Amino acid sequence: MLNLSRYNPIGDEEKKAAMRVLDSGNLSAFIGAWGEGFYGGEEVKEFEKELADYFDVKHAVTFNSLTSGLIAAIGAIGIEPGDEVIVSPWTMSATATAIVVWGGIPVFVDIEKNFYGLDPSKVKQAITKHTKAILVTDIFGHGAQLDELEKISKQHNLKLIEDVAQAPGVKFKGKLCGKWGDIGGFSLNYHKHIHTGEGGFCITDDDELALKMKMIRNHAEASIVNSPLQDLKNMVGFNFRMGEIEAAIGREQLKKLPRLLKVNQEKALWFHDRLKDIKSIRLPKTDCDSSHAYYVFPIQLNFSKQDGFLKLLEKEQLPGLVARYVNVHRLPMFKNKVAFGRGYPWNMAHREIDYKIGICPVAEDLNDHSFIGLLISMYDMNEKEVNLLCDIFEQALESALNEA
């Protein structure tokens, strides 16, 4: 068994930053009311400024997770019960659940095979008069077809939200992921490229959306009193606030993002160079003028023996490195349309919404038959270790093909 070290980007800089906060005694400075304390403590405010500068946007809003950030983003754009939001079936469940929180109806649309993002042609077909937004995921570390999705959203006067949890700091066609839509959301969860243990943030150039997200983050129903915001829609508040220690760590992590991305990209290049001549698999692509963060190194098998291949890899004691993605529309909540009781929010839908198997054939086929993801971002690896992993991969592949 090859013993790999877990990826750990935390160093002395983060330790000193955390101690700076501990020594101050100010672990949080948020107050759930308009006025002093509404925007949080100094570390949070400085982190948000540094994030806005890094992404060259007007606003960055931090949260205790990207799940919270997506809930705030969906609330901020004004989603109401029965409104439809187009979303990918191949994403983390929270992406779709953030829609349900506000009574919105997730409409799952199939993906394309190159970058595993929403298929723009299928998105066009799914738009109805009840569609209010598109929530696109830049899955595995590469942007979806964001240029096409941006055009579609503008043509139909829809809001576009990007879930960039797995693709921080990379570009699609020369433009940073997270900046194609109205709001871009990023994760700082412990197994992301940079992290604060738990945490997340959203970026936007829209003043009102930024303020609404900050309201929802911090007890909106109370903090809106005496604030300049008059729109009461979705001003239901939560405590989605980031603490000062997490913000201080995040400030140090942000400085490391370009270097850490390059390290992960180098690992991916080693895998690609070693596996590129194997005809029975398809390796990840990168669009012209785009970059890839390789949160996952996605591989498609050109044969239908995925389960057998996975078992062979697990036999080699590599289960922690290999992953499959579950189609979100197959999860019990969506399949049975049971969330808050009495059929809500689907009883508010303007038409029949069906989440049956077959609605997203590309995503379903990949999930059931031909997709393997290598979690290369979660482990530190040198070139020698990558070659040893590729040896195991090739041996398992040969055995699976012989059984096919």
For 298, left (φ over 0), alpha (ψ -120 to 50), or beta? beta
CA distance 103 to 97: 10
Beta-bridge mates of residue 62: 201
Instruction: Reply yes or no: is the peptide bond before residue 345 cis, omega within 30 of 0.
Output: yes
Q: Tell me which CATH code domain 257-325+363-403 carries.
A: 3.90.1150.10
Nearest-CA neighbor of 126 among 145, 112, 107?
107
**pLDDT score recorded for residue 52:** 98
**CATH 3.90.1150.10 segments of the chain:** 257-325+363-403
**pLDDT score recorded for residue 305:** 62
**pLDDT score recorded for residue 276:** 95
Q: Order of strands, edge to edge, in the sheet holding 200-204?
A: 59-63, 200-204, 183-187, 159-163, 131-137, 84-87, 105-108
DSSP secondary-structure letter at 136? Answer: E
The residue behind tokens 């738009």 is: 127
CA distance 188 to 165: 8
Token digits of residue 297:
């190194």
Query: What is the DSSP annotation of 256-308?
Result: HHHHHHHHHHHHHHHHHHHHTT-TTEE-----TT-----SSEEEEESSS-HHH
The residue behind tokens 């191949």 is: 90
pTM, two decimals, is 0.96
CA distance 26 to 20: 10
Nearest-CA neighbor of 153 among 85, 95, 102, 90?
85
**CATH 3.40.640.10 segments of the chain:** 5-252
Q: How many CA atoms lie within 13 A of 42 on its CB side?
A: 6
The domain 5-252 having CATH identifier 3.90.79.10: the answer here is no
DSSP secondary-structure letter at 366? Answer: I
Separation of CA 288 from chain center: 22
pLDDT digits (tens, 9 = 90+) for 28-68: 999 999 998 999 999 999 999 999 999 999 999 999 999 99
Beta-bridge mates of residue 175: 172
Nearest-CA neighbor of 204 among 52, 15, 334?
52
- Taking every pair of C-alpha atoms in the chain, what is the biggest distance, in angstroms? 71
Q: Which residues of the chain have pLDDT under 50?
A: none
Dihedral pair phi/psi, residue 366, rounded to 5°? -60, -45
Q: How many CA atoms lie within 13 A of 8 on its CB side?
A: 8
The residue behind tokens 């799914």 is: 126
3-state secondary structure of 356: coil
CA distance 205 to 56: 9
Separation of CA 211 from chain center: 22
